[in-house]
Amino acid sequence: MNEKNALLIESAFKEYYFNRFDLIHVPQRAAEREFGYQKFNSGMTRHLVIKNDKELHLMLMKEVPSDVYCSNAHYMFPNLPMSEKDWKGADLIFDIDAKDLALPCRKDHTIFKCSSCNNSVTEFQSQCPKCGSGKFETASVSCKNCISESKKEVTKLVDILTTDLNMQKEQIETYFSGNEGFHVRVTNADYESLGSQERADLVDYIMFNGAIPESFGIKRQNNSKSLLPTFEEKGWRGRVARKLFSSRSKVPKVTREIIASGYSAFQVQLEEIKKTMGVRVDPKVTMDIHRIFRLEGSINSKSGLSKIQCTNLDSFDPFLEACLLGDDNVEIMADCPLQIRLKNKKFGPYKSEIVSLPKYAAVYMLCKGLGNTI
């Protein structure tokens, strides 16, 4: 990021951290966690200990980081190198990101920016129409559908955690990530001691990975003796039964069709069920028991939006509720070929033109690489 853009964004972030201390708190057992931060155009600073809100606020005002992180893990010595920290356990974390959902709308709000001349276009081309370069960077401006589909994944995840794993809803916290998705944190102490492999197994269950016909009563041979799951069963067997049959009156007919079609056909059905009913989380995030995770209340430098908790997921609008930077006007040279919506206002499209925008909209474009300060 060029220096002038970084200075403008840093100024907006500093104003936010000064005015919104009420949103930014250390998590429980803060003294056992590793903190870290990144500054604009600089590397990561890790292995910090921050014990309380006062220390956190002082760090934010002094360093004005582009991003702030805190470990999901608890350590005996969080400020030491990783091999010496003495791991005690870690919160169970899930990451759901719209970019991983393969949504058809993505092509409608992905911007290709030429690495040579910064020309921006909305359709991929092998060469920049302005300078002929073949190197492009991409930026995505999320839409309502991205957020809606991400919410559906969160809802499926919470259903499995509560009905299959007997977690309490009060132990499940959902946060907007500050960019294109959601973070879900489980505070149930029973899961803190799980290692990476156990968390990988849990992710496989949640994503419906590796499902085989035998688990649902279909055998490679002697299909006449197959016993399909019923509506009343718990877990994935009951979930699959309700998907296959849709109603109890259809059970005999659908059962005959499944048995007649055979093992391989049912395996294909299970793969299709996975696409719609398996929860699409990022497995690597959940498996990583040493990860430092974006701190709630902090700003995501990829968008200028805040990571905040969603108390009502259904009605939550990140383009309004997480858009918390100032609204005083600043001038930038905007090159944003798509219209964006923030705080119920529409901005753009702009084609390399000087515009006066509320600070929150200007910072959003600068963070996305869709403009420059004047």
Can 97 be counted among the known catalytic residues? yes
- Ramachandran region, residue 16 (left: φ > 0; alpha: ψ -120 to 50; beta: rest): alpha
Of the candidates 67, 91, 95, 335, the residue annotated as catalytic is 95
Tell me the CA end-to-end span of the chain in Å, nearest whole number. Answer: 14
**Sign of the CA dihedral with 179 first, then 99, 92, and 184 last:** positive
Can 282 be counted among the known catalytic residues? yes
Can 100 be counted among the known catalytic residues? no
Of the candidates 97, 100, 159, 288, the residue annotated as catalytic is 97
Of the candidates 100, 282, 288, 317, the residue annotated as catalytic is 282
How far is Cα 151 from Cα 307, in angstroms, rounded to an integer?
Answer: 15
Do the beta carbons of residue 119 and residue 131 sit within 8 Å? Answer: yes
How far is Cα 18 from Cα 326, in angstroms, rounded to an integer?
Answer: 12
Q: Parallel, antiparallel, or unpaired: how do β-strands 181-186 and 172-176 relate? A: antiparallel
How far is Cα 100 from Cα 150, in angstroms, rounded to an integer?
Answer: 10
DSSP assignments along 127-152, one per residue = S-TTT----EEEEE---HHHHHHHHH
- Ramachandran region, residue 41 (left: φ > 0; alpha: ψ -120 to 50; beta: rest): left
Q: Of 79, 46, 51, 52, which Cα lies nearest the Cα of 65?
A: 46
| Catalytic residue list | 95, 97, 282
